[in-house]
Amino acid sequence: MPYAALPQIHEELDELQQRLRAERHAERKRRLHLLVLLKSKTVGTKKEAAAHMAVHRNTIRQWLNRYEEGGLEGLLEIKKRGFEPGQRTVPAPVCAALRARLARPEGFSGYAEIQRWLVEEFGLEVP
Chain segment 43-67, per-residue pLDDT in tens:
999 999 999 999 999 999 999 999 9
Q: What is the pLDDT of residue 83?
A: 58
Q: Region 84-99: what's the mean pLDDT? A: 77
How many residues are listed for the chain in this entry? 127
Q: Do residues 115 and 122 touch, judged by C-beta distance below 8 A?
A: no
- pTM over 0.85? The answer is no
Q: What is the pLDDT of residue 108?
A: 86
H/E stretch holding 46: helix 46-53
Q: What is the pLDDT of residue 86?
A: 60
- Mean of the per-residue pLDDT values of the chain: 88
Task: Judge residue 98's burial from the number of C-beta atoms within 10 Å of its C-beta, 0-12 exposed, 13-18 middle, 19 or more buried.
Answer: buried
Q: What is the pLDDT of residue 106?
A: 86
Q: Do residues 107 and 101 touch, judged by C-beta distance below 8 A?
A: yes
